[in-house]
Structure 1
Amino acid sequence: MTIIICPGIHEPNLTESFIAGWLYADSDKKPDTSLPLHPHILVIPTEGIFTLSGFHIWQFMQDCLHNRLKSPVIFISFSAGVVGAIAAATQWQMMGGNVQAFIAIDGWGVPLWGDFPIHRLSHDYFTHWSSLLLGSGQDNFYADPSVDHLTMWRSPQAVSGWWVNSSGGEINTRKNPLTAAEFLHLLLERYEPK
């Protein structure tokens, strides 16, 4: 399985911090942003407005994955990157690709529909609630207390909040509260090929 990271329009070091904070959230080690990337993570380059282009993301995936369409992929996208990522995920699946899940972090205002599981993580309750009107999956997350938009990406291990089952609007009682990084870990465990 390959995890496709689609950052927004921001400094690249925030994405490095996101990956370190998410990968090492459950360990006793302090996140180290100088570590090499996990071999199954593909970070889409953020070159200006190309983060908004589903075509460029899809083309980059083809170049890197060599048309291994049946190999499962999970998209994790942030902010403006959600725009290009949802288009690329849809195109990847239309071409016969295996999109296991799509995770949008603070993709406020971006309609999300697809023939694959979709999850949203939001930096506050208002963003969570208003984004659900534009499509979401069953399990989502919102920060409580609310945090700054970039904090969701920079430090997912430090953002606490609630796992919400949006199909009925109920708070999932399996593990609350939890961090955004813990929520991501739980989602990825769900979609890990058996």
Structure 2
Amino acid sequence: MNLVICPGYHDSQWTTDFCQGLLTPWTLTHPSPRLWVVPVPPALPFSPCHLLHWLKTQGLQPTTAPALAFIAFSAGVVGAMAAAQIWHRQGGGVQAFCALDGWGVPVGGGFPIHRLSHDFFTHWSSALLGTGSLNFYADPPVSHADLWQQPQGVGGWACDRRSSPNSSPQYLSAAQFLYQVLSPTVATL
């Protein structure tokens, strides 16, 4: 697994907390992922050009790099979504795109997309601008910051829009949701 973490505008400790909260349990059951954390600054979270340039400084080229999974938060969703689309059009593999609280950001592409939201309203209103088939919203609602800083402690509902009306959503943590959608061996929730 090759993860590109795209933070927004916030204290860098939030991203450190996210990575620890996500990766500590992950490495107990999965091989350790290769991780690239985009530095903000100098990269601008809303700029796909900055993100693509930074990936190239890390030795990654679309046609030779392994497939990447993008995990983006807040303003980082803006630049990461456009960068993932460009990367994909240039022949790069995009295993998945996970948008955490990318409210107001249109999403779409020829790769799996998943939205994670800190409450139901954000989940519902973000879906108007595009969504993946598997998505997550926190219940009870949490703060915008908590979704990023503590994915292992945020409970909520995984929603599969491909399911029949009689199917039940699954309750799990945001981190567990990310494990499931990023695991190449798990096809559905």
TM-score w.r.t. length of structure 1: 0.86
Q: What 5-or-longer segments of structure 2 have no aligned partner?
A: none
Share of identical aligned residues, percent? Answer: 45
Letter in 1 for 2:40: T
- Aligned equivalents of 2:144, 2:56: Cα separation in 1: 31
Q: What 5-or-longer segments of structure 1 have no aligned partner?
A: 29-37
For each residue in 1:71-114, what CA deviation from the matched residue of structure 2 results, as whole angstroms up to 9, or x when unmatched? 11000000000000001101111111001110000000000011
1:164 CA drift (Å): 0.3
Correspondence for 2:95 among 95, 100, 120: 100
1:186 CA drift (Å): 0.8
* Greater displacement, 154-163 / 68-77: 68-77
- Aligned equivalents of 2:90, 2:26: Cα separation in 1: 36
- Aligned equivalents of 1:169, 1:13: Cα separation in 2: 41
- Give the equivalent residue in structure 1 for 2:55: 61
- Give the equivalent residue in structure 1 for 2:68: 73
Q: After the TM superposition, which residues 147-186 of structure 1 pair with which residues of structure 2 at under 5 Å, given as runs?
A: 147-167=142-162, 173=168, 176-186=170-180
- Give the equivalent residue in structure 2 for 1:86: 81
Give the 3 Å change call, closer, same or farther, for CA 3–152 of structure 1 in structure 2: same
Cα RMSD of the aligned pairs, angstroms, is 2.3
Letter in 2 for 1:7: P
- Figure out how many residues of one structure are paired with residues of the other and give that number: 182
- Give the equivalent residue in structure 2 for 1:2: 2
User: 1:15 and 2:9 equivalent?
Assistant: no
User: 1:116 and 2:99 equivalent?
Assistant: no
- Aligned equivalents of 2:50, 2:165: Cα separation in 1: 38
Give the 3 Å change call, closer, same or farther, for CA 169–65 of structure 1 in structure 2: farther
Letter in 2 for 1:105: L
- Give the equivalent residue in structure 2 for 1:33: none
- Give the equivalent residue in structure 2 for 1:50: 44
Give the 3 Å change call, closer, same or farther, for CA 24–110 of structure 1 in structure 2: same
| Alignment check: 8 A CA contact 2:43 2:54 kept | no
Give the 3 Å change call, closer, same or farther, for CA 27–39 of structure 1 in structure 2: closer
